[in-house]
Amino acid sequence: MEKKRAALKKLLEAVEKEILRKPDRKALDRLSLFVGFQDWDSFQDALHGDASADENYK
């Protein structure tokens, strides 16, 4: 029983580590396209600045 508990704990730790991992740039760019921006940088500019998604559709 103790081996199963240790294996489950190890599995949960690995899953938690993967969930908390920062996505790579390619994934961020794809997510940005999904919400109407050309790339991650333009999404960040709109989020933290004066740009908007409308600029991407001119």
Prediction pTM value: 0.53
pLDDT number for residue 15: 83
| Residue 42 token pair | 């333009």
pLDDT number for residue 38: 92
What span, in angstroms and rounded, lies between the C-alpha atoms of 50 and 44? 10
pLDDT number for residue 51: 55
Dump pLDDT digits (tens) for 7-58.
Answer: 888 988 888 888 888 888 999 999 999 888 999 999 888 888 765 556 656 5
Determine the 3-state secondary structure of 51 from DSSP: coil
- For the chain, the maximum distance between any two Cα atoms, rounded to a whole number of angstroms, is 63
Contact 23, 32 (CB under 8 A): no
